[in-house]
Structure 1
Amino acid sequence: MSYLSRIRINPLRSGSRDLLGNPRRLHGAVMGGLADDPERQRPLWRLDSDNPHRPKLLVLSESKPDWTHLVEQAGWPHAEGEHYELREYEPLLTRLAVGEEFTFRVTANPVRNAVEAARPTQPNDSGKGSLGRSPRTAHRTAEAQLGWFLQRTEKWGFSVPGASSGTSAIEHSSVAASADSTDATGGAVTAEAARVGTADVSEFAGDVRITARERHSFAKKRGSKPVVLHTATFEGRLRVTSVELLRRALLHGVGPAKAYGCGLLTLAPLPPDSDAAD
């Protein structure tokens, strides 16, 4: 059984500021709510800050959690009302069917493997060399991040209505992670990618948009090299193409950096006045 939680966060408390500014600490707080073998579980979580004065933490966990510690540290422990919501996740999963449409939201870490092949690392203690993993490079422009997302929807079990089925424009956009020039967020882009404007993206993006883009930098431990994450929050409308693949994406997340608030894909019914037909 899986559970989806939504916890109210009070951003004015000192405990909240420590958590909201550091994905590693927030991950630790999430793990602290799992009593049933937390080391075995890999919960998904996402911080939604549509209203910066009332951010909400969403958590998908395998076991039933207890968020009392988060309410006491970063919520409104003495206020009236529901401090957090807890729902079983299976009823949503049973509603999935090919052709059904939902609105969705996901915060992801769009990356690509470096073009260069992995090189041997320093010899280890035994004197033998080992092959290193090909490093990942962040997509730092909205165009490249949209391209990354649309290239992967099929393997996640859905399509985006109105999006181009071709990949040429998407692949063209995805070169934006190479380092030749700088975008508005300080990320590096090629001169070619810099010419790919929002109008070009809209031609193949369909019913999806980026609503937030952030850069996070934090240390895993004191004195260590900081971890840098470039994230993008995608929202829009999707159409189910594979129940099995979408169920897997919902339960296990999409993309990398899941421990740091990326990958939790959530669905909601379409608004009553929406037109589901293309």
Structure 2
Amino acid sequence: MLAAERQGHILDEVRRRGAVRVAELAAQFGVSDMTIRRDLDALVARGALDKVHGGATSKRTPSTEEPGFEVKWLRQQDEKDAIARAAADQVTPGSAVGVSAGTTTWTLAQHLRNIPGLTVVTNSMRVADVLRADDDSDLNVVLTGGVRTPSDALVGPIAVSSLRQLHLDVVFLGVHGIDPSAGFTTPNLLEADTDRALVAAGKRLVVLADHTKWDTIGISTIAALDEADVVISDEGLPPEAHDVLNEHVGKLVIAPSEPTTTTGTADTPS
């Protein structure tokens, strides 16, 4: 195998798993540890990954970087739909539900349309648009006011004030990152304040996060790991994440992936 081809496979492994070890790669490709280290050095020089002791990790993004909605929606679509389907199973008809902004929670909103008698409180314009699209639905949608962010969240003192007056049965929270020490985080300070108010309004907290959110840290913490009653992720979540989350959260749910093209639920955002 040529070095360039091997490096391409290594990069795929890092993107899939989040981290790799030199010894594992050497055994996988039948080459020496030194060859793998040279491959990692080449990938680091290209800015494709971060080298750590004994291996490499996916490239870390700045803690304040916040991609727009469309950019995030294009990532891990199958995983997000699987997570959304599993999250919808957590909802009881007739309950009061809080839904934060984000592409995974936006996908969840499409499944909530099929559950009768819900009142959904959200600070996401995108989520509200999905839920209000069906005129025949008995859904009640409450949209907080506030200042719009790049992820189409409504944040700030108006949003926080409205959420502090509410009592919700369950809150579904989308996050930018999960870290053992930092907890569940976001790159937007104002969104963190609003999300904390949303979390405080709920009896139960369900965090929706695909595997790429593991070992990622935004600038501000929304909640500690042990504040989550349930975390729903996908089959790509690395083993070390399983260990940490099973220790700290109420329950870890791994949603099996199915192609979004077969579900008919993940509409293209507009």
Decide: shared fold, TM above 0.5. Answer: no
Higher helix share: 2
| TM-score bracket for the superposition, by shorter chain length | under 0.3
TM-score by length of 2: 0.27
TM-score by length of 1: 0.27
Asked which structure has the greater RCO (Cα within 8 Å, sep 6+), the reply is 1
